[in-house]
Amino acid sequence: GNSVTQMEGPVTLSEEAFLTINCTYTATGYPSLFWYVQYPGEGLQLLLKATKADDKGSNKGFEATYRKETTSFHLEKGSVQVSDSAVYFCALYSGAGSYQLTFGKGTKLSVIP
Amino acid sequence: DAGVIQSPRHEVTEMGQEVTLRCKPISGHDYLFWYRQTMMRGLELLIYFNNNVPIDDSGMPEDRFSAKMPNASFSTLKIQPSEPRDSAVYFCASSLDTGIGQFFGPGTRLTVL
């Protein structure tokens, strides 16, 4: 079946540090990949996505590249801000007759001034 | 667009009472999803609809839970009778096509005493 594995948190960084949150997946076919962000007290928001191998999704300074050879979709940001503190979820959609998203367990990021 | 709308935002009730959560999806979206989020179990898909028809309810924990979608702009999740272990944040999400990502509502925080 489909699965998503994220690095366990929490992750604590100083402001302006470089961020990487690892995500690897197992899926049938050629899935679409997503990163969602959940700020405290809010619902999940779609941060970025990639629908085929070697695509790079980007938004708000965050980037992730769809690597089929390593089945990975790592999230990166060059310089984090305090406002980036949130929980980040990696997810995939494999199609193949199912319309569900498969989510990772989430990685909590705290950015300190 | 107003996004996905959920009500109420917070609900506190006593064990044994009936609870009804409401969701209005984004206009034109064909898919509607109900999720539950807890610290212990993370984000769980309960049920999803396509064109108002329930497609997969395998995530509904037990018969106390039921969901309906009488029309394209409204869905309910009902718990009867409620129990303390049902305390969680319940999210509704909608999408035009799951392959392009789901859009989440702000959630309903349910507390069952």
Q: What percent of chain B has pLDDT over 70?
A: 97
The residue length of chain A stands at 113
Chain B CA closest to residue A92: B99
Sheet strands side by side (includes B74-79): B5-7, B19-24, B74-79, B65-71
Q: Render pLDDT for B19-63 as a digit per residue (tens, 0 to 9).
A: 999 999 999 999 999 999 998 888 999 999 999 999 999 999 889
| Distance (Å) from the alpha carbon of B112 to chain A's nearest alpha carbon | 19
Contact A36, A88 (CB under 8 A): yes
Contacts of A105 in chain B (CB under 8 A): 42
User: What pLDDT does residue B99 have?
Assistant: 67
pLDDT digits (tens, 9 = 90+) for A28-68: 878 999 999 999 988 999 999 999 999 999 999 999 999 99
Buried b (16+ CB within 10 A) or exposed e, A25-34: bebeeebbbb
Question: Chain B interface residues facing chain A, Cβ-Cβ under 8 Å?
Answer: 4, 31, 33, 42-43, 45, 48, 50, 55-56, 91, 93, 98-107
Task: Tell me how crowded residue B79 is: count the other CB atoms within 10 A of its CB.
Answer: 22
Residue type, A93: Y
The pLDDT score that the predictor gives to residue B97 is 76
Burial label, B3 (beta-carbon count in 10 A; 0-12, 13-18, 19+) = middle
Inter-chain contacts counted by CB atoms under 8 A, chains A and B: 47
Cis peptide before B61 (omega within 30 of 0): no
Does residue A96 carry a pLDDT above 80?
no
**Does the pLDDT at position B98 exceed 80?**
no
- CB-based contacts of B47-51 (< 8 A; 24+ apart in sequence): B47/B77, B48/A99, B48/A100, B49/B75, B50/A99
Q: Are strands A11-14 and A107-112 parallel, antiparallel or unpaired?
A: parallel
Question: Chain A 28-47, CB below 8 Å of chain B: which residues?
Answer: 32, 34, 36, 42-46
Cross-chain CB nearest to A43 (options B31, B42, B106): B106
pLDDT at B2: 80
Residue range B4-14: mean pLDDT, rounded? 96
- What percentage of residues in chain B have a pLDDT greater than 90? 82
B92: exposed, middle or buried (Cβ count in 10 Å: 0-12, 13-18, 19+): buried
Rounded mean pLDDT, B53-74: 93
Q: Which of chain B's residues have a Cβ under 8 Å away from the Cβ of A49?
A: 100-101
